[in-house]
A and B are shown apart, each in its own frame.
Chain A
């Protein structure tokens, strides 16, 4: 008799363990987060999880086609490694039967993970990966941030409209991929607006150079209204200094590489008053962005970084796509494809990092944020600029 009871208890427990996947199909939507909770960059994973947990608290359920579903988030550690990211993706798709995936964050994991998601026909958004290969020829894979070349037109539009520039100068490192690409994209975009020859100085140097005085003398002599320099935080202080010392008093514009690292620690007062484009700015944010920042700060005691903001938006647009399907069939494979199609069809999703619309490649067309380095040395939101 006792043995019989035990057997029933065991069976019931087993039923509980198995059942989530049984009733998951009916009234729960599973979303997987392959994020680095341990490894070299646990901060990235923590930010992603914080944003997701905050979302879950705020919106625990979602209505799809007149039916209410409970949201269930599954966090899988990818240890900030490519091979673990592949494992985490496979587990989420085949064992946890997630409807959609948010993550991985860094390109090193997002590129191989995207392959798995696409092969298994599961919609995935990498909030933070900027490498073109993440989404290249993968219809099921999307990203939450803009690509590097995207900032060229953004900067060209900003200096034209906001700073009234008609002639621009560019100073860039020709031996480094990111600045070189961005400098060329800026030149193209600026000359498209102002005609050929409007980039009056296109000066270059090579990695490790410290003295930019000769290039700056050329730039000053060219009569440019603005200087665009898509360089890293370690070079920006030297460039800005050379500009001041050679009598260049016009505004200087940079790209998101300015925001990485300790720019203000190295640059001090010299960089104040200049602009750069980036994904998102916490200081001086307005509207929904400010609301998000305040809630996040209240919950976790720190300002959300760009990973948290982009994760929030990627999650939001994914939920929006699930709602736009107009109803889930319960067949996870068919539903995943439906979500993918809905995701590709979304227009102007109002995210906190800007409005988002995906290209056929799965990269968002979104507005970048231009920040101004204010008198306190903070990166303050200046305006949102669209390409």
Chain B
């Protein structure tokens, strides 16, 4: 494997991992504070992408496209991301209010299937309202491909990785530097006792869902820019894989979820050239479609040796950094 080839795959893996990392954060935060898995999170990512589609189309209609545009594409993109994050946060709040709050004292299994059901409702509602056909995501910024010594990088890939990392740093600052962040960390430490000292559980729960959903919306829009075909089931298997990243990172660990997301992207992408090398060395004939089989076998092996994830600690689910 030449260095160029490795670098090319590394860049692709960084972009792919950014999406896993952003979505894994939502799973991780909800789990650490409420001790439940929000299985609807992958579908919130889907809803975020569609909201982004609607917002960007509306903005493009107002400001115009091409040479006649009133404002540059990147500005439309920034505004689209902000508005969509805001709107999708409300979707998260509704999911919490309708799906989880009534079941807070119910058995954990009931809360778990709530997420699955909400996910199915979101998917089918999408089909009901939009007809189920694939939709193209508008390309708000012109795509440029740069050839740097045989490695191909696009402006979108760079932007996606930078925006994702920026959002992760912003979340980190919020959780460590603000009172609300402190309240979230306290709640993660013990959500039975902390409300007794005056921290409102419902407000914190709502905030957690809102932040997680907003991040998922940002991931959805960036995803739409990189893979511009949206379908109602785009969040299902993607959500599962991001959930794997959340667990792999160590439940409740923000840093862990981010790193595990990037690591998962890296393992998935690198498995394909890995298969090629195996084929060459041992004259095998393995297809690159075995990517997921091999990639997730590796993840399984990691979990066998580190059952609490990369950054997890035994018997602790507190929101750590």
**Is A218 engaged at the interface, CB distance under 8 Å to the other chain?**
yes
The answer on a CB contact under 8 Å between B12 and A246 is yes
The answer, among A202, A214, A218, A238, for a CB contact under 8 Å with B227, is A238
> Who on chain A is nearest to B11 by CB?
A213
How many residues on the A side are at the interface (Cβ–Cβ under 8 A)? 32
List the B side residues contacting A217 at CB < 8 Å.
5, 8-9, 12, 272-273
One of B131-139, B196-204, B242-250, B304-312 contacting the partner:
B131-139
List the A side residues contacting B270 at CB < 8 Å.
214
B282 to chain A, nearest CB (A): 17
Docked complex: B113-155 residues within 8 A CB-CB of A: 133-136, 139, 143, 145, 147, 150, 152, 154
The answer on a CB contact under 8 Å between B272 and A247 is no
Given A174-B287, A218-B276, A244-B145 in contact, is the A213-B136 Cβ separation under 8 Å?
Answer: no
The answer, among A206, A234, A245, for a CB contact under 8 Å with B289, is A206
A153–B150 Cα gap in the complex (Å)? 33
The answer on a CB contact under 8 Å between A213 and B12 is yes
A211–B5 Cα gap in the complex (Å)? 17
List the B side residues contacting A202 at CB < 8 Å.
287
B189 to chain A, nearest CB (A): 38
The answer on a CB contact under 8 Å between A266 and B134 is yes
**Is B186 engaged at the interface, CB distance under 8 Å to the other chain?**
no
A325–B237 Cα gap in the complex (Å)? 60
Interface size class of B (residues with CB under 8 A): 35 or more
The answer on a CB contact under 8 Å between B9 and A211 is no
List the A side residues contacting B135 at CB < 8 Å.
266
List the B side residues contacting A355 at CB < 8 Å.
none
> Who on chain B is nearest to A234 by CB?
B134
List the B side residues contacting A235 at CB < 8 Å.
229
List the B side residues contacting A267 at CB < 8 Å.
136
**Is B313 engaged at the interface, CB distance under 8 Å to the other chain?**
no
Q: Which residues of B contact A (CB under 8 A)?
A: 2, 5, 8-9, 12, 15-16, 133-136, 139, 143, 145, 147, 150, 152, 154, 156-157, 227-229, 231, 233-234, 237-238, 268-273, 276, 287-289, 291-292
CB pairs A–B below 8 angstroms (8 shown): A203-B288, A204-B287, A208-B237, A213-B15, A217-B5, A218-B288, A245-B152, A262-B133
The answer on a CB contact under 8 Å between B288 and A215 is yes
> Who on chain B is nearest to A265 by CB?
B136
The answer on a CB contact under 8 Å between A214 and B9 is yes
The answer on a CB contact under 8 Å between B234 and A210 is yes
The answer, among A218, A237, A245, for a CB contact under 8 Å with B272, is A218
The answer on a CB contact under 8 Å between B292 and A206 is yes
Given A218-B272, A266-B136, A266-B228 in contact, is the A174-B152 Cβ separation under 8 Å?
Answer: no
List the B side residues contacting A265 at CB < 8 Å.
136
Docked complex: A221-278 residues within 8 A CB-CB of B: 221, 234-235, 237-238, 241, 244-247, 261-262, 265-268
A245–B157 Cα gap in the complex (Å)? 9
The answer on a CB contact under 8 Å between A241 and B292 is no
Docked complex: A167-225 residues within 8 A CB-CB of B: 174-175, 202-206, 208, 210-211, 213-215, 217-218, 220-221
The answer on a CB contact under 8 Å between A247 and B145 is yes
List the A side residues contacting B5 at CB < 8 Å.
217, 221
B321 to chain A, nearest CB (A): 29
